[in-house]
Each structure stands twice: as C-alpha cells, then as structure tokens.
Amino acid sequence: MNQKTKPWIQIKNSKRGFGSDNHSGVHPQILESLSFINEGHAASYGTDDISSEAQGLFKQKFGAQALTQFVFNGTAANVLALRLMCETYNSVLCSDVSHLNVDECGAPEILGLCKLIPLPSKNGKLQLEDLKKAVIRRGDQHFSQVRAISLTQPTELGTVYSFEELKSIISWAKSENLYVHIDGSRFSNAAYLLNKTYRELTTDLGVDVVSFGGTKNGLMFGEAVLILNSDLKKKAPYVRKQLGQLPSKSRFIAAQFIAYFRNDLWKEIGSHSMKMAQELRLRIEGLPGVEVMYPTDSNAVFVKLPQAWIKSLREQFFFYVWDELTFECRLMTSWDTQIDDIIQFSEALKSLSQQNRQREL
Amino acid sequence: MNQKTKPWIQIKNSKRGFGSDNHSGVHPQILESLSFINEGHAASYGTDDISSEAQGLFKQKFGAQALTQFVFNGTAANVLALRLMCETYNSVLCSDVSHLNVDECGAPEILGLCKLIPLPSKNGKLQLEDLKKAVIRRGDQHFSQVRAISLTQPTELGTVYSFEELKSIISWAKSENLYVHIDGSRFSNAAYLLNKTYRELTTDLGVDVVSFGGTKNGLMFGEAVLILNSDLKKKAPYVRKQLGQLPSKSRFIAAQFIAYFRNDLWKEIGSHSMKMAQELRLRIEGLPGVEVMYPTDSNAVFVKLPQAWIKSLREQFFFYVWDELTFECRLMTSWDTQIDDIIQFSEALKSLSQQNRQREL
Amino acid sequence: MNQKTKPWIQIKNSKRGFGSDNHSGVHPQILESLSFINEGHAASYGTDDISSEAQGLFKQKFGAQALTQFVFNGTAANVLALRLMCETYNSVLCSDVSHLNVDECGAPEILGLCKLIPLPSKNGKLQLEDLKKAVIRRGDQHFSQVRAISLTQPTELGTVYSFEELKSIISWAKSENLYVHIDGSRFSNAAYLLNKTYRELTTDLGVDVVSFGGTKNGLMFGEAVLILNSDLKKKAPYVRKQLGQLPSKSRFIAAQFIAYFRNDLWKEIGSHSMKMAQELRLRIEGLPGVEVMYPTDSNAVFVKLPQAWIKSLREQFFFYVWDELTFECRLMTSWDTQIDDIIQFSEALKSLSQQNRQREL
Amino acid sequence: MNQKTKPWIQIKNSKRGFGSDNHSGVHPQILESLSFINEGHAASYGTDDISSEAQGLFKQKFGAQALTQFVFNGTAANVLALRLMCETYNSVLCSDVSHLNVDECGAPEILGLCKLIPLPSKNGKLQLEDLKKAVIRRGDQHFSQVRAISLTQPTELGTVYSFEELKSIISWAKSENLYVHIDGSRFSNAAYLLNKTYRELTTDLGVDVVSFGGTKNGLMFGEAVLILNSDLKKKAPYVRKQLGQLPSKSRFIAAQFIAYFRNDLWKEIGSHSMKMAQELRLRIEGLPGVEVMYPTDSNAVFVKLPQAWIKSLREQFFFYVWDELTFECRLMTSWDTQIDDIIQFSEALKSLSQQNRQREL
C-alpha cells in the first residue's frame, strides 16, 4: 500500500461475530465494480447504460417481462411491493414472525398503506391451511379485503420453503386471485439450496413481486424490486420516487448487481455463508446446554442458550438475542465468515458447556 | 492498471455535459474512503464507530446539540425534516419553485404528512412580506396551521440567500413560533459563497432542521439530516426507520462524509463547481440570442436559448430544459467540470449565435 | 303544543344573522321526513329501501349510471371524491380560494392522499388559461402528475360558473384526460340560477364526481357523493367505509334527500336564499362606506366594511369577517332568512353609514 | 294523524329482527329533541349553546377535565382516539376479534396512522398475561413501539369486563406508560350491568380516551369521543376536522345526547335491550341443536345453529351469521325489541328444533 492509498480512515472496532450479514463489509469484486464505473458523466435516475445493463441481467434471470426498480434498502423494497399490490382497503397475509410484521416499525401500514394480517407460522413458514382460513368476507365493505400474501424466502428463522410448498401455496393464491410477494433479502440462498433458477422459483410459479436483496449478500447498499406482473408496472416509477427511493446515481447500485451476477458470484456468496452455517451447527449441536432450533436451510443458526452464558459470549463474538424471554439467539454467517470464526466460537461454547456441567456435578 | 483491476464494467456513454451535479461520479477521495473501511465487521444501523465519528464531525460543525440522521437521498431528507416539524394538520411555507413543491412527486404531502403552501419567489427566494401575509387564521381548526418554513439554500435557481436575508427571515419565523428548515442539497456552496461556517448559517440563526446534501457534492449516495432543535430529536430514529431510510451498512455513508470534511474537501468541491459556473457565465453572457437569467451564486447558470438551438446543443452536451414553455435551460457545473468542457460548450454556443446572426442578416 | 311535546330543550341564544347557511336549522319538510321513517327495523349501511329510493332519485336526476354514496359532511364528500380520482402521486388543480385549499385543514392531502395545486382565480373561478399552463411534465416521475380539476360551483365567493364557462373548462379537461370534480355544497343554487337540470350541468358535460351538498341547504346532516364515471365506482364503498363515512342508519340521510327533491323543495330552498341575497345586496349597495364585491350569483353577498363598524354590527347580526386584513365580510342568506332580517340589517348598516358621514362632515 | 303529517315516505320493508341495534330507529324522546331545537340560528361547528350544554353533561358524568368531541360514527370515534394517542411508529394492542381489527376496513392503520397488534381473547376479552407478553423491544427503532391498549366494553361478543378485570388491566397499562382506550359503542350497557358510574369505569381507573356510542343506543347518528387525559386535548379539534368529522350543525348531535342522559334515558334503553337479551337466551338455551355461546352480559346472544335452519329463520327474522365457517350467529336486541319478537323467534326455533329431532328419530 503506497502513501497515497494509506487509509486515513479505518474501522476501529471490527470485532468479528455472527450479528448479521449486514455487519460484513462489501465483497471485493462488488467494491471493485464501483471504481470501474466511476468516470465521466452518466444520466441520473436510472436512465444510464449501467442501469440498463443491470435491467437486462434481471430480465435474463427472471423473464423478459420483469421490471426492476432499484431501491436503497429492504424496508423500502417491501413497502414499494405493497404499494403496487394493494389499495388502501386491502390486507396482506404474512407470517407472525415476518420482518414485515415485526421489524419494519409500522412501515407496511403507514407507508405501504395497507393492513397486515399476521398468521401463525411453523419454523417461520406460513401454512396453507392457515392461509385458506384467512380469506374471508369477500366483498364485505367492513372488512379490509385480503389481496396478497407475502412469503419470506428464506424465512426469518433461516428455513426455506421447499419447491413443493411454494407451488402449493402460490397456486392456491392464484386460484384465489391474490398477489404473491416474496420478501427475499437473502433470496439467492434459497435458489442455491433448492437448486433452481430465480425464474423457476418466482415467475414460473406466478409470483408477482420480489424484494430481491443486495445489502445482506455483500453489496454496500441497494435492493432490487422485481415486478413480474405487468399489470403492476405502471405506478412503480412514481411510487418509488414518492417513497424517497429513486437513486440519483443509480448506476452505483446497478454496477453492484452486475458484479453480483458476474461469474455467478451470487452462488459463491450464498453457498459460502450457508456452508459456514452448517459447519457452525455441526460443531455446537448436541453440546449440553445448547438447544439448536429449526432446520438450518440458509445462513442462520438459532440456539437457545442458558442466560448466564450470553454476556461473556457476546463480549467475544457479537450476536443477537432473538427472543428476550426465552434466550433464543440468532447466529448469522456471512460471505466473509471464516472457518476460524466458527472454531473459536464453538470452542468458547464448548468451554462454557463444560464449566456448566462441572458446576452441576 | 494490472490485470486484476482491469475494468470488466465501464460506463459506455459517458458524454460530459451540464445536466446535473448528480451526473458526475464520486470524488476520488470519497471513493477511497469506502475501500479503507471495508474490512472486518461493524455494527449496523448507525451504531458503529465510523458513524459515531461522522456524528462527531457534524457536531463540531453545527454545534454540540446537533443530531445527525443519515438517509439515502434528498427527497427522504426533506420528508424526514417535515415529519419531525409537523403534525398532520400543519402547513409549511415554501417557494413556488422549490424542489419540495415541484420535484418530489407529492412526497412532502403523502409521506411528510403535511400541507405545503407555495409562495411567490424572487430569483428563487422567498420574500419576507409574502411569508408574513401567509401566517393567518391561527387557532382556526378549518385551516391547516402554518408551522414551518422551508428555505432552499442555494435555491433551485442557483441563487443564495444573503446572510442578512436569512437573518431577517429566520428571526421573523422564530418570533412567529415557526420552525425553520433548510433544504440544502448543495448547502456547502452557500457556506463557501457567504464565507460563513455551517453553524453561523444555521444553528446560530435558529434553524431547526437542515437537509445537508451529499450526493450532489461528490458522494456516491447519502444525505445527512441535521436536527438542531433538541425538541425534535426524540421521534427521529423511529420516523427514519419507518420511512425506509435507515441504512444498515451506515458506515459507508458516514465514511463519505468524513472524507467530504477532511482537509476541507467540501470547500474544494464547492469552490471548483462555483468557479466553473462563473467561467461559463462569463463566456456566454452577451452572446446574441443568449439571455442569462438570475445571479449565478452557486453552480448553475440559467439561460434562455432560441428553441432551434437546443436539439443540436444537447446532442453534444447534455443539459435540462428547465421550462418547456420559455426554453429556459439549466447549465449545471460539478466538482469534475473541466475548463475544456466550458470552452467547448461556449464555442458551440458562439457558433450557433453567429450562424443565427448571419441568417438574420 | 301539548304537555308531551313541550320542549325540554331549546336553543337559548338563537340570534339570527348572516353567518352561514349552516347556522339555520332543518327545513320543516325535511325534519318531518325523519319522523315518518322512524318505525320498525331497517337494514343498515345503505342496504335499506329508503336508501334505495334515494339512490333511484339521484339516478333520475344525474343519469342511470350515477352511484350515490351518502357521507356525513362536506369535507368527507370532497375527500372521497379525491380518493376515487387520484393515485397518491397525482395532483388536483383547484382555485386558490377553494374550500379544498383553505378550509379543509389539510384533509385533501392527508386523507385524500393527493397533492393540490392551487391556481389563481377570478371572482372565485378558475380560468382556462391558468389551467392549461398547469398541465406540465407529463410522465416525469419527479412531478406529481396532474389528474383532476376541482371546480366549486357555486364558488366560495358566491359566484357561479356560466354554462359556457363550464363547457369550455370541462371539454378541455376531458381532452387532457383529466377527471372533473364539482365541489357543490350549494350545487342546487347553481342549477337554479342557470336554469339547467343537474344532469345538464354534470353528466352531460363529462363531470366525473360531484360533492352534492345537503347540510347547507336545509338538511340536518348528510351529503351525497355522486359518482358519474363508472370506472370510479368499484373502490367507493370500501374507501367510504375506511374514511369513517359509512352511515349505519343510512335511511336518515336518504329520507332527507327524498324530502329535498320532493315537489322540487330544492328549488324553493335555493331560490328563496338567492332572492334574499339579491334583496340584501340591493339594499346595501351604494351606501357610503360599503363596498359590495363580486357578482351575487348565489346566496352570499361579500362587502368591505370600515373596521370600526364591524364589532357593533356583529353584536346584532352574526356574520364572518372573510379576510382579516381587508375587512371583507361575507353575508350569507339561507332557506330561513326573512325579509325582516334583511331590513333590520340594512337599516343598521344605513345608520352606521350616516353616522360615519356626519362624523366626516 | 292529520293530513299535514301524513307520511309521504315510509319504511316499506320493516321486518323486525335481531340484526343489530342499528337496525332500530331513533328513540322517540331523542327524535323529539331534534324538533325542539330546530328554530332560529345557532353557531356552527360546536360553538353553540346546545353543544356546550352537552359538553357540560359529559363533564358531570366523566369528570371536569373531560373534553367531548362529537363525531359522526363509530369508526371515526375510534380513529380519532388512535390519532390522539399514537405517533405513526406506535402500536395499539387490541383483541383479535375487536371491531378495530376486523370491522373497520383498515381505518385504524390508514386513517389512525398506527399499527394494530391483535392478541388472543377469551370470550372477547383481552387477557392480562397476553398483554404483558406483547410489550417488548422498548426503544428498538425496528419495532413499532406499543403505546396504547384498546378494550371494547362491552366486547364484540356481548361480554363485559368486570370491574376487577378492568382495574387490573388498566393499572398494569398505566404502570407500563400505555394509554388506555375504550371502544364503547354500547358503553352504557356495561355501566348498567356493573352498576357503576361512567366515571368510575373510566376516569377514575385512568382511562385516557373513550369512544362513547350513540347510534347503537337509540340515536339517529353521532358518537362522542371523551378525551379524559388533558395531554391529549390539544390536537383534537384539528384532527377531528381533518378526519371529516366536524359536524357543522353540531347541535343536532348534542341534543340527542342531552335527551339520552335526561331522566336517565340511557338506563332505560340499556336495561331494556339487556333484559330482552336475557329473555331470549332463556327461551332458546337448551333447545336441541342450539348451542348458546359466551356469557350474555350485554344485548347480544351468540348461538351456533345447524346450517340447514338458517335460511328459513332469516326469512322471518333478520340476523347475522357471525362466522361463516362455524355458523355461529349473533342475535342482537335493541331499545325497541318487544317481548313478542322474542316469543315469535324462540317459537320458530323450537319448531325447527322439534322437526329436527323428529327427522333424526
């Protein structure tokens, strides 16, 4: 590193951990893309060549009818999707643990201008029988009319709807004239696990809108809203602008997605973080005191830990306590998780587990 | 450039011009900052060290009470400001040509949840006498109660409120118990022109909230909402999150602002673009057929051109026709505008002007 | 009056005046209708026979395609109209003095979910040339897209658009693919003045939605939103319910409108109040110190009075000071205004005028 | 009835039944009050003497700090309450069967500008332990912050929270700094059952806002929002106006409430309908095939009936099928329900029950 590029700014406290895949930085190939396009002038607000190229890539992956709207973050992607699918007197069925319902600070209702109907979930997944029971009172003006369902894929609990599950839920939704939204901040992981193309998991099944995540998969910022149903396209540019989500230097989001798709980088990123999660689970499952929960289909492992362990563990490796009452914790891997991180963490856990047993004896 | 960093993605059509300061790319020092901090893990959602450091810098510049909320773009910055100042039954006085009124696609009303009252302007500036006449019907429940004024500084027409103008408007506003918002997507240019610190132009005068621009001043993305009135801070984090404006990898906005302030880079960026605008004006003012409008206080020159010239000019240099009826055009310089750009453009204009005269003779 | 019906409740301070046509009570024939239908049970929420009968009457008057939605008040009628015509990224052109713009406390924006663009007016009327200049930037996502115009008929200043004025404005609007809304809280007065049927003034010209007033024309409460454009009907019941405007005992609004139309009571009510306004104008116009303003087409006379007179006059007869700066006052007549009211008021004014002259001499 | 008052309008299809207490007409004493005040002029928008008198009555009943805001219907009353208690990033805890959650067509979210969190209920009542578990993630900007609870009293299932239940829930809410709203469209029935004053059931316990019903208790239209917490008063007039709920001829709501309170008419109305519900339950409970559900604390009896009976029963007496899947039906009595209505209905049911048994034998 020569003088010129010597960092005059640095992350000071860069403790590694399992906090979230947005605690990681930017994948080098994605970062690099930002430098490559940083020359000359380009039209703003998505009318430049790089944005067109990215549009084209998404069309290749999701089908020629796909319209991509880049937005800045995941809340915005979901809100834009809701706004396109719903009138103000419509409801959206979602799981009780969905990000939409519990982590958007009311944005779906206040900005999305619709009502959410949270339904019970199993391992984070909506169940067809619950969905069916929720479609009631059609045409009754007193009742916010159900208009869409929102599936998180992978779910907030790190599980993945199987292809069969998706098919049965989505074909039912279509038969009921409901729109289908996929909240896919880590959608590539599901595609990798299921070994299906993006298109097979969305357009071909009848999905109408996808919130396709970038930031949690190695981008610096930026998500793509994929509008697969042509009836929903017309309003999109105006709604996005009004929501404060029209990027002026749009090319800097577009370039990141181009990098993300180039040489299947998305697979590398997804498969690595998922392999790390498997590795982590393997090393800690069965340790006395550690209760691993849910299937580990994506890049998160959920564990119940004794309350007493949590403070000291978190001093070494950051992670979130998912449920303050039960001490369920979320351990999330990322594109940059190293096997050493896993080893150190599992060793620390082993050590706590052993101390615990000795105390008990 | 070695093999590894050979661009596999490039802007193809990078025609230079005077379209907007968001047609330029990212200033190299700002881009560099993004690489420097791209290592290890950092807490998300603004709780990391880089974000804290940037917060500290803004406190130095605007006063210790300043709370900074990073958001993604200018629409969002303005909407957040409105939401903090207004109840739903409040109005905001703004100029008829303000971005708020004519370029936000209704976001101030629908997302900002308030009413705008557009007032006449002179060279883009609100006039005190018009403001005074607009504060009526206090306590009348039928009338949306005026609660704030929003000044664009520099204005949308490239002019700058003088210190005296600011003082008289803001002190009047305070005497009327109105909040004062500054829409400052190019605020640094005003500070440079007026040779005042940010603080002298805001906090010290009683300004409550500033939309402090980044993207148009050499950043890749990101704006800072400066909340200078402590009464308005409490709601800010929730409202920002709900608006879809909480950046998860917040440090990548923070780092850009750190770079922007480092070694007074902001002055370099501002003064350069402003000097280029002066240069441009100098070279084209007085050309037969060219009518230069408004003082050129910031980095934009407005000119009325004969309709016939516009098409061919725009093929060479992109710029916007500001008013489709009068053929008023906006020529905007930027941190990367070169003297050659100015020369080529003014030569092209001169040539059109001469052809015109010859045709007339 | 026998013991049983002896009032145990009475208006104590029933000073007559020219405050507003909503200061009057309920026309006896309208009040009577409420007693007539007060028996047995009836289905709620508009599904009863009386509501159907009223629907039928409105169809007779506005055309078979008309869908009537009863709501509680005028703000609500206007908001419902806006919601049916606009997406959130649409604007509505209205006059700067329109009720929508200055007397709804921001309801059009916050509840109507659209942007208002107030235009200059002449005697309270929108001018075609101003409307034309406001339809700009079609397809530009940054600009809230103009989608409708709203005409107040009669205007807030007591004037009435002539049939020719309506025709030229509305045919232009249709040519521009804009919806047309009429804010007609006293619409019957316009119909009476112009000697046209409701239908000739609305449906036949291409009007899309009418806020058809009841409360200011002798009803106790209740307005009718006439949806004349079939494309706009579908959302109406849901939006009305959500707006808190679905009357459960709907028949008590419906019955009032049946009474209002029976034997052309609407003409009697309208013509009386308008005649009284003419009478009032006749008696006070030309008095030294009294400046009568605007044509008196409907039931309001606007006068500028010397500030010194206002307090004592208002102690005898209530009326509103319309403009606090110029002391323009609004004198409004009603279905129950008596010629004696006019005589007393004009005598009082004469007396003030004479005192004034004597003081001046 | 003389010629003059011979009805020229009448309810044609006035089949009595148990549809809802808003299928009944207006109580004669309440109707009478409307005639009594229908003379002369009165100030509009709530500034008249009758409105003041009603305000005074509510102060007597709820405490001197009570501010009453009349609105047109129950949806509006609830929405106004929510708007006063909540910021846009707040949630309200309510029961899963609450009117707010299932019968307002999304108005709480879209107009009330907050999020609802529906909780499980037992006989329509919220349970303290469920409420406690829902107050989580305080200060977490990602989570819509719980700010209020809404209790329906009597509940939608015709049950009434006991005084002890109220006390424990409300004192807990206060300890958690949550506002308490009572959705009381039939609140008088609860007061009658519990033999407590309105004040004892609200102000004295710490309730902040009450939606106090009129329309379902013999009024023609009109509800009263009682604002008991002085901190919440300031915004009320503006928010009400903006919501389209400011009645211009306010005295016609006020007079009805004066009648409602005069000579304790409210008790007569409440006790009668509740006695009729008891009578109805008595006569049908235990009939083979009829399953009576929930305690009958107010004026509704819920029964599960064999699907085959419903059509023929509803041809004779209108009532609602409450749950389309289980054929749970709601039988609602009213101030005008006659013992004969009960007898006829129970006889019809008996007859169906006997036919059924014979068929089974």
Best residue in D82, D105, D322 for a mutation probing chain A (most A CBs within 10 Å):
D105
D146: contact with C, CB 8 A cutoff: no
Confidence of residue A223 (pLDDT cuts 50, 70, 90): very high
Helix intervals (H) in D24-162: 28-36, 49-62, 74-85, 99-102, 107-110, 128-134
Mean pLDDT of chain C: 96
Is the per-residue pLDDT at C52 higher than 70? yes
Residues 257-316 of A with CB under 8 A from D: none
Same domain, residue pair D241 and D321: no
Note the pLDDT tens digit of each residue in A57-66: 999 999 999 9
Same domain, residue pair D16 and D37: no
Is the per-residue pLDDT at B3 higher than 60? no
Model pLDDT, residue B356: 83
Note the pLDDT tens digit of each residue in B253-307: 999 999 999 999 999 999 999 999 999 999 999 999 999 999 999 999 999 999 9
Q: What residues of chain D lie within 8 A of the CB of B141, using their CB? A: 45, 237-238, 240-241, 246
Contact between A113 and C88 using a beta-carbon 8 Å cutoff: yes
Helix (H, G, I), strand (E, B), or coil: what is residue D83? helix
Poorest-pLDDT segment among C131-145, C319-333, D2-16: D2-16
Instruction: Chain B: give the shortest CA distance to residue C82, in Å.
Output: 13
Same domain, residue pair D257 and D305: no
Percent of chain A with pLDDT over 90: 93
Instruction: Chain C: give the shortest CA distance to residue D284, in Å.
Output: 22
Same domain, residue pair B258 and B355: no
Rounded mean pLDDT, A166-172: 98
Note the pLDDT tens digit of each residue in D255-268: 999 999 999 999 99
Q: Is the link from the previous residue into D108 a cis peptide, with omega within 30 of 0?
A: no
Note the pLDDT tens digit of each residue in A300-344: 999 999 999 999 999 999 999 999 889 999 999 999 999 999 999
- Domain range enclosing B135: 28-263
Instruction: Chain D: give the shortest CA distance to residue B286, in Å.
Output: 53
Rounded mean pLDDT, C80-108: 98
Rounded mean pLDDT, D170-179: 98
Rounded mean pLDDT, A259-270: 98
Written as six digits, the tokens of A40 are 């000359």
Model pLDDT, residue C2: 54
Rounded mean pLDDT, D20-38: 97
Contact between D241 and B142 using a beta-carbon 8 Å cutoff: yes
Percent of chain D with pLDDT over 90: 93
D178: contact with C, CB 8 A cutoff: no
Same domain, residue pair D341 and D240: no
Q: What residues of chain A lie within 8 A of the CB of D137, using their CB? A: 324
Rounded mean pLDDT, A275-292: 97
Instruction: Chain A: give the shortest CA distance to residue C51, in Å.
Output: 17
Note the pLDDT tens digit of each residue in B62-95: 999 999 999 999 999 999 999 999 999 999 999 9
User: SS3 letters for chain B?
Assistant: CCCCCCCCCCCCCCCCECCCCCCCCCCHHHHHHHHHCCCCCCCCCCCCHHHHHHHHHHHHHHCCCCEEEEECCHHHHHHHHHHHHCCCCEEEEEECCCHHHHCCCCHHHHCCCCEEEEECEECCEECHHHHHHHCCCCCCCCCCEEEEEEEECCCCCCCCCCHHHHHHHHHHHHHCCCEEEEEECCHHHHHHHHCCCHHHHCHHHCCCEEEECCHHHCCCCCEEEEECCHHHCCCHHHHHHHCCCCCCCCHHHHHHHHHHHHHHHHHHHHHHHHHHHHHHHHHHCCCCCCEEECCCCCCEEEEECCHHHHHHHHHHCECEEEECCCCEEEEECCCCCCHHHHHHHHHHHHHHHHHHHHHHC
Number of folded domains that form chain B? 2
- Domain edge (last residue) among D263, D284, D304: D263
DSSP D204: G
CATH number of the structural domain spanning residue D297: 3.90.1150.10
Confidence of residue A14 (pLDDT cuts 50, 70, 90): confident
Model pLDDT, residue A356: 83
Q: If you search the block for the tokens 């004479």, which residue do you land on?
A: C354
Note the pLDDT tens digit of each residue in D68-90: 999 999 999 999 999 999 999 99
Is the per-residue pLDDT at A3 higher than 60? no
Rounded mean pLDDT, C234-256: 98
When CB atoms are compared, the residue of D90, D106, D137 closest to A89 is D106
d(CA B218, CA A251): 14
Is the per-residue pLDDT at C1 higher than 70? no
Size of interface A-D (CB pairs under 8 A): 61
Model pLDDT, residue D4: 62
Contact between A109 and D115 using a beta-carbon 8 Å cutoff: yes
Confidence of residue A4 (pLDDT cuts 50, 70, 90): low
**Closest Cα partner for B174 from B201, B203, B205?**
B205
Q: What residues of chain A lie within 8 A of the CB of B243, using their CB? A: 107, 111, 244
pTM of the complete model beyond 0.95: yes
- Domain edge (last residue) among C223, C240, C263: C263
Chains that touch A (3 or more CB pairs under 8 A): B, C, D
Same domain, residue pair B105 and B210: yes
Do the Cβ atoms of C125 and C159 come closer than 8 Å?
Answer: yes
d(CA C49, CA D209): 36
Task: List the strands of the sheet with C328-332, edge to edge.
Answer: C291-293, C300-304, C328-332, C320-323
Confidence of residue D1 (pLDDT cuts 50, 70, 90): very low
Model pLDDT, residue C361: 74
Same domain, residue pair B164 and B19: no
- Domain edge (last residue) among B229, B263, B297: B263
Q: Which residue has better confidence, A11 or C146?
A: C146
Residues 96-125 of C with CB under 8 A from A: 113
B232: contact with D, CB 8 A cutoff: no
Written as six digits, the tokens of D353 are 């029950």
Is the per-residue pLDDT at B2 higher than 60? no
How high is the ipTM of this complex? Answer: 0.97
Confidence of residue B1 (pLDDT cuts 50, 70, 90): very low
Is the per-residue pLDDT at B239 higher than 80? yes
Note the pLDDT tens digit of each residue in C200-242: 999 999 999 999 999 999 999 999 999 999 999 999 999 999 9
Mean pLDDT of chain B: 96
Model pLDDT, residue D3: 56
D139: contact with B, CB 8 A cutoff: no
Same domain, residue pair B246 and B282: no
Same domain, residue pair C270 and C341: yes
Helix (H, G, I), strand (E, B), or coil: what is residue D245? coil
Is the per-residue pLDDT at C178 higher than 70? yes
Same domain, residue pair C138 and C271: no
Query: Chain B residue closest to A31 (CA)?
Result: B35
Query: Chain A residue closest to B36 (CA)?
Result: A7
CATH number of the structural domain spanning residue D220: 3.40.640.10
Poorest-pLDDT segment among A224-233, C97-106, C351-360, D145-154: C351-360
Helix intervals (H) in C177-217: 187-194, 198-201
Q: What residues of chain D lie within 8 A of the CB of C10, using their CB? A: 36-37, 39
When CB atoms are compared, the residue of D31, D41, D221 closest to C16 is D41
Same domain, residue pair C295 and C175: no
Rounded mean pLDDT, C179-192: 98
Is the per-residue pLDDT at D202 higher than 50? yes
Mean pLDDT of chain A: 96
Contact between A238 and C113 using a beta-carbon 8 Å cutoff: no
A143: contact with C, CB 8 A cutoff: no
Same domain, residue pair B202 and B318: no
d(CA C190, CA B54): 63
